């Protein structure tokens, strides 16, 4: 986590520069930039509670995806501890043990969703696009078994770290 935090810190300067450069374009028409089915309110609330640089990276990626006609949205971003605890307990019931559940869901103390440092995206087409293009904004798919889970894990424009098999090997 410390290594990632350091990378994020270094990414701040780069991303801030990117934001300044792209600000006139992205702030000119926030509502019309979204596809008709998605309201500006829904787009804004998707990133609520996220670590600011993750929210910024995602917003920049989303603008690019929309420009290319690629569907992309956040299925689950920031979660409260209570929400994560409920998911964790569900996971233990579903998979039969804490060890088995950890491959798919982590307890509140360990989940990067609770710290606002992770997003689960959809649909699969958008996730595949983000897997291929996301490193332009520092966004990386983290696990072999979760095509939907992304974090800010590299500097913009640099390669993503090797994926882990699943969340239990974090």
Cα–Cα distance measured from residue 59 to residue 81, given in angstroms and rounded to the nearest whole number:
24
Which CB, 18 or 130, lies closer to Zn ion?
A: 130
Stretch that binds Zn ion, among 40-48, 89-97, 124-132, 144-152 (CB under 5 A): 144-152
Minimum CB–partner distance for residue 25 and Zn ion (Å): 30
With CA atoms as reference, report the closest residue to 71 among 36, 110, 28. 36
Closest CA to 87 of 113, 114, 105: 105
Q: Which residues contact 68 (CB under 8 A, 6 or more apart)?
A: 129
Window 90-119: residues binding Zn ion (CB under 5 A): 118
Looking at residue 101, the DSSP 8-state letter turns out to be H
Contact 61, 72 (CB under 8 A): yes
Q: In this complex, which beta carbon is closest to Zn ion, that of residue 141 or of residue 149?
A: 149
Q: Alpha-carbon distance 55 to 62, whole Å?
A: 10
Closest distance to Zn ion from the beta carbon of 33 (Å): 26
* Length of the chain as a residue count: 170
| Nearest in space to 65 (alpha carbons), one of 7, 149, 121 | 121
Q: Is 120 in the site for Zn ion (CB under 5 A)?
A: yes
Q: Which is nearer to Zn ion, 68 or 170 (CB)?
A: 170
Residue whose CB is less far from Zn ion, 102 or 149:
149
The site string for Zn ion over 63-92 (x = CB under 5 A, - otherwise) reads ------------------------------
The least CB distance from residue 113 to Zn ion, in Å, is 6
In angstroms, give the least distance from the CB of 105 to Zn ion.
8
Decide whether 43 or 118 has the Cβ nearer to Zn ion. Answer: 118
Among 57, 84, 149, 151, binds Zn ion (CB under 5 A): 149
Question: Strands, DSSP E only, in the chain?
Answer: 73-76, 119-122, 139-143, 146-152
Instruction: Name the site residues for Zn ion (rule: CB under 5 A).
Output: 118, 120, 149
């Amino acid at each position: 986590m410390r290594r990632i935090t350091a990378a994020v810190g270094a990414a701040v300067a780069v991303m801030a520069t990117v934001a300044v450069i792209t600000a006139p374009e992205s702030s000119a028409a926030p509502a019309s930039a979204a596809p008709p089915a998605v309201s500006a309110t829904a787009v804004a609330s998707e990133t609520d509670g996220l670590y600011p640089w993750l929210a910024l990276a995602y917003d920049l990626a989303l603008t690019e995806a929309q420009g290319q006609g690629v569907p992309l949205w956040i299925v689950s971003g920031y979660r409260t501890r209570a929400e994560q605890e409920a998911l964790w307990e569900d996971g233990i019931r579903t998979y039969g043990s804490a060890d088995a559940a950890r491959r798919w869901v982590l307890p509140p103390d360990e989940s990067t969703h609770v710290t606002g440092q992770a997003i689960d995206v959809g649909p699969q087409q958008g996730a595949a696009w983000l897997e291929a293009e996301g490193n332009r904004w520092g966004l990386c798919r983290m696990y072999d078994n979760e095509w939907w889970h992304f974090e800010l894990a590299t500097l913009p424009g640099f390669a993503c770290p090797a994926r882990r098999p699943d969340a239990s090997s974090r």
